[in-house]
């Protein structure tokens, strides 16, 4: 039986002095479906033997036979019996990951971003060093890995036979991908040039790598195309993330808002999902809310999607939705006048609005996704999710298998995670200075930095530049990796 290789590509852009890219391989263990993220071009790989290959296993790219239109060699193949490589197992055979950080976070109450910025007036942006207390003990490469917390939604999309159902699962994945940002006001560490991150979740059927590839300019570019391909169904989906706004950077309590329109397009069927991440507004009524619809290629609305990106997502018939909203509008007329009077007293404030009651479920709705609860002690761990807590875990034997550029080996992040803030600050300054000196040496020798695991290509669905995974990472030959730490 041939396996089907699904792919997802993410090109992530944000305002900063670096731009990360990453690739992952994912496979649904139950029916040999695979998922893999090469950053760009569609992969057409067909594994003729969907069983685990002991000679290759997790340590090689040579894990199945197949061909690819991109320059990726081959995708990994798992059987239905995850291997633990000596790590402890739970009773059900699923690998156990840590549930807490080594030390609680350092209090930020005595620090002010505005106080720091006042001292930096007139300085070049790339030369401003923020106190480490405003960081969280993750690299940005690890932070974007949180996109994969709800991987089961991609597995679900690949298993569904109806294109409308698949679009609903993809929409739920797109919304779930930003859910971990709520209350996460700590700044991840800037990746160093050449830094990498690898995450293998064999029990969930995927692995990923990421690589930092640019570090000499500052860009503010509101784009970043995500491409998901379900090759079993010969479908390709693309979308971009909503805008993210951090309030009260100067004064007050920091809080995060997602807003903007996200369009998910199925380039194979012509179906489209339009999601409106609503701004909270003056009275906070729309805080966290998402509403949208799915239409077919004839532009007929097939279902309505609603919920909160911090909680859950539902789908319902368009007629039922309109009837519910009509009744709701009648009941809201009196409330609106009361809110306007109360809001007028505070119209200049940027305080975080009170979170409204949870999502009211419209009769006949179907649940698409619900967020997992955060750990009870999350507030003492930078408001990490359970998934985020595991991302910097360095298990026994892992250091010998990882490249020397992996985030887990960064001494500043490791020191901060263990609560040694002084050492973390010293290491951060040392690494930044080392990076500056390396840049000067390259400029002196007129050498350009070249990526190790990716190359530029073109996204065939949207026609924009994208990055292709070149293969070879899982062969575990890292002798030519740079010494960045």
Strand 454-458, strand 465-469: pairing: antiparallel
Listed in sequence order, the residues at least 6 apart from 53 whose beta carbon sits closer than 8 Å to its beta carbon are 62, 63, 64, 77
pLDDT digits (tens, 9 = 90+) for 334-375: 555 555 444 444 444 456 555 455 889 999 999 999 998 999
Q: Is 481 helix (H, G, I), strand (E, B) or coil?
A: coil
pLDDT for res 356 = 53
Which band of pLDDT confidence, cut at 50, 70 and 90, is reported for residue 69? very low
Q: Which two tokens stand for residue 84?
A: 């633990």
Q: Which two tokens stand for residue 58?
A: 């997790």
pLDDT for res 251 = 60
Listed in sequence order, the residues at least 6 apart from 334 whose beta carbon sits closer than 8 Å to its beta carbon are none
pLDDT for res 115 = 66
pLDDT for res 457 = 83
Asked if the model's pLDDT at residue 90 lies above 70, the reply is: no
Strand 225-230, strand 235-240: pairing: antiparallel
Domain boundaries along the sequence of the chain: 5-241+372-475
Asked if the model's pLDDT at residue 324 lies above 50, the reply is: yes
Mean pLDDT of the chain: 76
Asked if the model's pLDDT at residue 408 lies above 80, the reply is: yes
Strands (E), 57-163: 135-139
Choose among 362, 350, 358, 181: nearest CA to 280: 350
pLDDT for res 458 = 82
pLDDT digits (tens, 9 = 90+) for 48-60: 222 222 223 334 4
Q: Are 361 and 328 in contact (CB under 8 A)?
A: no
Specify the DSSP element, H or E, that contains 141: helix 140-145
pLDDT digits (tens, 9 = 90+) for 238-275: 998 888 777 766 566 777 788 899 999 999 999 999 99
Asked if the model's pLDDT at residue 446 lies above 50, the reply is: yes
Burial (CB count within 10 angstroms: exposed 0-12, middle 13-18, buried 19+), residue 356: middle
Which band of pLDDT confidence, cut at 50, 70 and 90, is reported for residue 114? low
Residue labelled with tokens 């940005």: 140
Helix pair angle (163-176, 152-159), 10° resolution = 170
pLDDT for res 230 = 87
Check residues 434 and 88 and name the one with the higher pLDDT: 434
Which band of pLDDT confidence, cut at 50, 70 and 90, is reported for residue 86? very low
pLDDT digits (tens, 9 = 90+) for 149-208: 999 999 899 999 999 999 999 999 999 999 998 888 888 998 999 999 999 888 887 888
Give the integer Cα–Cα distance in Å for 449 and 243.
30
Give the integer Cα–Cα distance in Å for 421 and 434.
20
Please provide residue 115's backbone torsions phi and psi, each rounded to the nearest 5 degrees.
-60, -35
pLDDT for res 54 = 25
């Amino acid at each position: 039986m041939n396996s089907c290789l699904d792919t997802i590509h993410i090109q992530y852009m944000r305002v900063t002095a670096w731009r990360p890219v990453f690739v992952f391989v994912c496979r649904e263990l139950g029916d040999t479906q695979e998922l893999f993220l090469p950053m760009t071009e569609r992969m057409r790989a067909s594994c003729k033997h969907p069983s685990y290959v002991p000679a290759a296993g997790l340590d090689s790219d040579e894990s199945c036979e197949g061909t690819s239109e991109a320059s990726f060699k081959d995708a990994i193949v798992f059987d239905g019996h995850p291997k633990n490589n000596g790590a402890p197992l739970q009773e059900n055979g699923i690998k156990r990951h840590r549930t807490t950080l080594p030390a609680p976070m350092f209090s930020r109450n005595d620090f002010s971003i505005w106080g720091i910025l006042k001292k930096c007036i007139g300085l070049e942006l790339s030369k401003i060093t923020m106190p480490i207390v405003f960081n969280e003990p993750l690299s940005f490469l690890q932070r974007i890995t949180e996109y994969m917390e709800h991987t089961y939604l991609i597995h679900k999309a690949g298993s569904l036979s109806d294109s409308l159902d698949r679009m609903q699962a993809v929409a739920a994945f797109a919304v779930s991908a930003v859910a971990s940002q709520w209350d996460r006001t700590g700044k991840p560490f800037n990746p160093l040039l050449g830094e990498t991150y690898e995450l293998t979740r064999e029990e969930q059927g995927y692995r990923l790598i990421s690589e930092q590839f640019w570090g000499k300019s500052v860009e503010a570019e509101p784009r970043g195309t995500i491409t998901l391909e379900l090759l079993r169904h010969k479908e390709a989906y693309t979308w971009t993330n909503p805008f993210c706004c951090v309030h009260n950077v100067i004064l007050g309590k920091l809080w995060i808002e997602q807003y903007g329109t996200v369009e998910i397009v199925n380039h194979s069927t012509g179906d489209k999902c339009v999601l409106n991440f609503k701004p909270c507004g003056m009275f906070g009524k729309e805080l966290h809310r998402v509403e949208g619809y799915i239409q077919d290629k004839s532009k007929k609305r097939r279902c309505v999607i609603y919920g909160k990106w911090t909680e859950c997502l539902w789908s319902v018939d368009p007629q039922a939705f309109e009837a519910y909203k009509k009744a709701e509008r009648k009941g809201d007329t009196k409330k609106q006048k009361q809110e306007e009077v109360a809001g007028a007293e505070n119209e200049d404030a940027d305080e975080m609005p009170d979170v409204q009651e949870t999502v009211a479920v419209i009769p006949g709705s179907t649940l698409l996704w619900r967020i997992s609860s955060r750990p009870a002690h999350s507030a003492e761990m930078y408001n990490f999710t359970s998934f985020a807590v595991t991302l910097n875990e360095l298990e026994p034997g892992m250091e010998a298998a990882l490249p020397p550029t992996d985030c887990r080996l960064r001494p500043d992040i490791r020191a901060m995670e263990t609560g040694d803030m002084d050492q973390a600050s010293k290491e951060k300054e040392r690494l930044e200075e080392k990076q500056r000196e390396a840049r000067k040496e390259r400029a002196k020798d007129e050498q350009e930095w070249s990526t190790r695991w990716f190359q530029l290509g073109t996204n065939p669905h949207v026609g924009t530049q994208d990055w292709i995974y070149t293969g070879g990472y899982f062969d575990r030959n890292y002798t030519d990796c740079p010494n960045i730490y």
